[in-house]
A = this chain, B = another copy of it.
Amino acid sequence: MSEKTILLDHGSGGLASQQLISELFIKHLDNPILRGLEDSAVLKNRPGNLAFTTDSYVVDPIFFPGGDIGHLAVHGTINDLAMRGAEPLCLSLGLILEEGFSLQELEQIIISIGSACKKTGVPIVTGDTKVVPRGKGDKIFINTSGIGFVDENLEISSLKACEGDAVILSGTMGDHGITIMTRRAGISVQGDLRSDTMPLHKLVKSLLAEIPDSIHTLRDPTRGGVATTLNEIAENSGLAIELESKALPVRPEVNAACELLGLEPLYLANEGKCLVVVKGDSAQRALAIMQSTEEGRDAAIIGKMVAGKAGRVVINTPVGGSRVVMALHGMPLPRIC
């Protein structure tokens, strides 16, 4: 392209818009359905129930150790489909660009999206681009919506968690949240902090292939972290949750950075982790399946669903005490994803 930045004209629907579509989007995201460039994509249907989800990504900074806003937008929406037990079929891509945004950075993000789509096998089939004047947006906001298919006999939901179920976390907590926060604050910390952005549909598929009836609830603890997501599961299931502090997987670098900043890893966003609520007697089997995958190699049983005040989450501390873990409240961490 001859221009170096996004112009208002790129959002006009005229020739400049078409140039952006052909020289960037079709170039890096190409597939037969997207190429049609019609008002809607039309795809072959498949058996099963439909899963449908949407997420907007406004993360700041847009590039960070471990990924960028493009990776997040593909993985995050795939993960939201996977959390209902769905096999993802395709994604849409809605861009809101700020006038003056670097075309080279835009291309880098589109390349990330294309590469994440290729790796996950989930294509972008339809899209839309808008441009807002300088100062009315911030570089790039991305919306991805996604469609998947769920086995008609499968019902995974936070309503299904039962007393005696084990709670498994698929890996270490807080990697994404602490990476964005330290990056944004310009704080440099010893050790390798990087986002955990990762697709989880294959891990979920492995679990459902082997023990479909034992998997009751799947949730990815993004904004609000593990603490907030567990509070929601407890609330919806009408049960309490008991966590073991020493079982919670946290990377030492993340712990160190949290201590420095006075943060609690339980409240930090994750972008490649899920919470699995599984029948108690299948917990070890589920753990083994998860640990045998790359995404779940650090998986750990962190607690269990127990009778008690509905919605209450308590954590047993190493010194033999226990404390209540509330949902995130009054701690504005904007633009973490």
Contact = CB atoms under 8 A, between A and B. Distances in A.
A284 interface: no
Given A50-B147, A130-B335, 5 more contacts: A14-B228, A15-B327, A56-B143, A99-B334, A131-B334
Nearest to A220: B39
Interface stretch (A85-93, A243-251, A285-293, A300-308): A85-93
A222 B13 contact: yes
A127 interface: yes
B138 A94 contact: no
Interface string A51-69: 1111111101000000000
A157 B38 contact: yes
A157 B33 CA distance: 12
Contact of A40 (B36, B128, B136, B148): B148
A56 B330 contact: no
Contacts of A81: 39-40
Given A54-B145, A92-B52, A132-B58, A224 B39 contact: no
A56 B130 contact: yes
Given A130-B58, A141-B96, A228 B39 contact: no
13 contacts: A14-B328, A17-B224, A39-B80, A45-B45, A45-B50, A50-B147, A53-B126, A54-B143, A58-B96, A94-B143, A130-B335, A137-B137, A147-B147
A258 interface: no
Interface string A302-337: 000000000000000000000000011111111100
A328 B13 contact: yes
A149, A334, A335 pick with most chain B CB within 10 angstroms? A334
Interface string A15-46: 11110000000000000000010111111110
Interface stretch (A4-12, A165-173, A191-199, A208-216): A4-12
Copies in the complex: 2
A279 interface: no
A43 B45 CA distance: 14
A332 B9 contact: yes
A117 interface: no
B80 A40 contact: yes
A92 B334 contact: no
Contact of A39 (B16, B45, B48, B53): B53
A42 B84 contact: yes
B54 A127 contact: yes
B141 A138 contact: no
Contacts of A132: 58, 138, 141, 334-335
Contacts of A16: 329-330
Contacts of A220: 39
A219 interface: yes
A84 to B, nearest CB: 4
A12 B334 contact: yes
